[in-house]
A and B are shown apart, each in its own frame.
Chain A
Amino acid sequence: MAPLKRYSPLPGFSLAMGYTLVYLTLVVLIPLTAVGAKTMTLGWEAFWAAVGNPRVVASYQLSFGASLAAAAINVVFGMVFAWVLVRYRFPGKGLVDALVDLPFALPTAVAGIALATIYAENGPVGGVLRSFDIQIAYTPNGVLLALVFIGLPFVVRTVQPVLADLEKEVEEAAAALGASRGQTFIRVILPHIAPALLTGFAMAFARAVGEYGSVIFIAGNVPMVSEIAPLMIITKLEQYDYAGATAVASVMLIISFLLLLLINALQGRMQQRQTSEA
């Protein structure tokens, strides 16, 4: 059997490791097991009563559906952003590069009220869209829009370094062998950045499912129409229904965990295929 720890002349391993494990257990692991433990005490009937409620089911559909759609939109626009930032020079590029991370840095409540104001019927964009009979704020469209905002940096920042590392020679070789620019992109560049795109997709999706602050202001929170799953947890907590809130939360945790596992497996396969081809 391999030793648990390889020898190193450096000091401080026991201290650093011990502190890490104690702090991790106290701050993260024990509190998270509280959700599992509370769910266990519920019993099936109480669990189904909370989770099978039509309003809760509708919120799951909206949360997971809008998150998948938002992550897909982010993949397209995130790739455009990454491509433009790596390959082209244009005025304002430095500003764009710095502000791509704005959705990370801007507190979600601030983003939420700003988006709600912009896309409300009397807002600058909402007003224009209303004349085309498109309503964004206080509908599921608003939820989707907020989730696109929050997820954009994940795709840009995972694809950008991979695209920057891609060697120009490979594209030159493809071109020299007679590939058109479009063929080179689809058959040479895209396979290379696909794992990064998938990672970005997964991260944007995971963030979107749990997102609360930036969504609730623009969503309007109409029961059965524009209520997201995290809001259902808050609603149940406000009614002191701790058991119901925990049940809703545990289903969210399990579904996102399974989806991330699936994406991880897909990614592993993609990388495997790439290395075997190379």
Chain B
Amino acid sequence: MSASIALIPGNRQAYEAPSTREPIWVKGGLIAIALTFFAIFLLLPLATVFSEALRKGWGAYAAALIEDDAWSAIRLTVLAAAVAVPLNLVFGVAASWAIAKFEFAGKRVLITLIDLPFSVSPVISGLIYVLMFGAQGWFGPWLHAHDIKIVFALPGIVLATVFVTFPFVARELIPLMEAQGSEEEEAAVVLGASAWQMFRYTTLPSIKWGLLYGVILCNARAMGEFGAVSVVSGHIRGQTNTMPLHVEILYNEYNYAAAFAVASLLALLAIVTLGLKTLVERQTRRQTHEKSTLTGE
């Protein structure tokens, strides 16, 4: 602690209190501002989704969810995420292994390129696939001649979803693996572990929480993506509508209760995502704490 306190023995509170703390009205005011902003900007939208969804009662709520078009939208959303998330998971592990465990030229450039999909508007993310595979696109005539549909069909939706969720897993893993260093893996290799054994028994246990978090975020975005998917989907009801697109159609038809009913499922997904995130953060903190007490750092 600072020496100034030792100069005034027994008078620590009186000395420190006015100097490094805000007056009580500042503190109270700041908390009040934050809580008000929180209530209006974050809590109210969330509460609105559920109250509007249940406005016409549970019967109407359930009916809106088991209706054919809603059900096919749910299936399509799950299918798109089921393809996009594993693809980006494998990529994320490969990219973070190469980037975090090795030193090579051009590393910064590679990281910037991996982050690129985050800085592109979702609408432009959809547009690029229309430009490639659409009727007037690069491969358009060829695809048409072979009767393959990509844009306004399932493959386009999957491609757009893969693009917008591309960086999530890599982004979580790169800083985590960089912080952990590679001593444990080097020890495993020196002791004769095969590449797979090294990964399975040293790398995977220490990155599992970060990996899980990346997958959760990736999945949430995959299921909730609207702009990119909207451009490539073609909005064919019951066929190429994902859940967010179905919400849009119902809302534009003034069918608010049904729109919010489908939206409430997506809001639940968001709440589960945030809950898991909080849990994972707690686990990582415990893990790093255990590690630092073990090594005496």
Complex-state Cα separation, A252 to B124, whole angstroms: 9
State whether A246 and B131 are in contact (beta carbons under 8 Å apart), knowing that A5-B103, A113-B263, A176-B4 are contacts in the complex.
yes
Given contacts A4-B105, A107-B225, A114-B49, contact A11 B189 (CB under 8 A): yes
Instruction: State in angstroms the CA–CA spacing of A209 and B121 once bound together.
Output: 7
6 closest A-B pairs by beta carbon, nearest first, are: A210-B121, A107-B224, A175-B19, A213-B226, A212-B227, A105-B270
B195 CB-CB contact with A under 8 Å: yes
Q: Given A9-B186, A105-B274, A152-B41 in contact, is the A110-B224 Cβ separation under 8 Å?
A: yes
Q: Is B273 an interface residue (CB 8 A)?
A: yes
Q: Does A100 contact B (CB under 8 A)?
A: yes
Return chain B residues, CB-CB under 8 Å to A108.
122, 224, 226-227, 244
B137 shortest CB reach to chain A, Å: 8
* A181 CB–B CB distance under 8 Å: yes
> Is the CB–CB distance between A31 and B132 below 8 Å?
yes
Within 8 Å of chain A (Cβ to Cβ): is B104? yes
Q: Which residues of A contact B102 (CB under 8 A)?
A: 5-6, 8, 10, 13, 17
Assembly CA distance A103 to B45 (angstroms): 10
Q: Which residues of B contact A105 (CB under 8 A)?
A: 217, 220, 224, 269-271, 273-274, 277
What's the A-B contact tally at a CB cutoff of 8 Å? Answer: 286
Q: Closest CB-CB distance, B123 to chain A, in whole Å?
A: 4
* The one of B44, B98, B259 that contacts A20, using a Cβ cutoff of 8 Å: B98
**Which residues of B156-191 have CB atoms within 8 Å of chain A's CB atoms?**
159, 162-163, 166, 182, 185-186, 189-190
A-B contact pairs, 20 of them (CB 8 A): A9-B190, A13-B98, A20-B98, A24-B110, A28-B166, A31-B163, A80-B37, A83-B30, A101-B277, A105-B217, A106-B266, A107-B225, A108-B226, A110-B266, A111-B45, A113-B260, A124-B44, A172-B20, A217-B251, A240-B136
Given A2-B105, A113-B260, A172-B2: A17 in contact with B98 (beta carbons within 8 A): yes
Seed contacts A28-B116, A105-B269; 8 additional CB < 8 Å A-B pairs: A5-B104, A94-B278, A103-B42, A106-B267, A107-B225, A117-B256, A209-B121, A213-B227
Q: Which of B27, B98, B278 contacts A98 (CB 8 A)?
A: B278
Q: Judge if A72 is at the interface, Cβ distance under 8 Å.
A: no
Using CB atoms, name the residue of chain A closest to B190. Answer: A9
CA distance A174 to B159 in the complex (A): 55
Question: Which of A50-58, A84-92, A191-199, A268-276 lies at the interface with chain B?
Answer: A84-92
Q: Is B124 a contact of A35 with CB atoms below 8 Å?
A: yes
The residues of A that contact B132 with a CB separation of less than 8 Å are: 30-31, 34
CB-based contact B163/A28 at 8 Å: yes
Tell me how many residues of A have a C-beta within 8 Å of chain B: 90
Contact status of A260 and B119, CB under 8 A, knowing A81-B34, A88-B31, A249-B124:
yes
* Interface size band for B: 35 or more
A115 → B minimal CB distance (Å): 6
Q: Which of B48-96 contact A (CB under 8 A)?
A: 48-49, 52, 90-91, 94-95
B14 CB–A CB distance under 8 Å:
no
Q: Interface majority SS on B: helix, strand, loop or mixed?
A: helix
Q: B138 at the A/B interface (Cβ < 8 Å)? A: yes
Partner of A253, one of B44, B48, B103, B120: B120
Chain A interface residues toward B at CB < 8 A: 2, 4-6, 8-13, 15-17, 19-20, 23-24, 27-32, 34-35, 38, 77, 80-81, 83-85, 88, 90, 92, 94, 96, 98-111, 113-115, 117-118, 124-125, 148-149, 152, 168-169, 171-173, 175-176, 181, 184, 206, 209-213, 217, 230, 233-234, 237, 240, 242, 245-246, 249, 252-253, 256, 260
Known: A35-B128, A96-B34, A242-B134. A149 touches B41 (CB 8 A): yes
For residue B41, which residues in chain A have a CB less than 8 angstroms away from its CB? Answer: 148-149, 152
Q: Provide the residues of chain A in CB contact with B35, threshold 8 Å.
A: 90, 92, 96
Task: Find chain B residues with CB under 8 A from A118 CB.
Answer: 44-45, 48
Within 8 A of A (CB), among B250-275: 251, 256, 259-260, 263, 266-267, 269-271, 273-275
Contact A80 B34 (CB under 8 A): yes
Closest to B136 in A: A242
Q: How far is A85 from B37 in the complex, measured between Cα atoms in Å? A: 14
A215 to chain B, nearest CB (A): 10
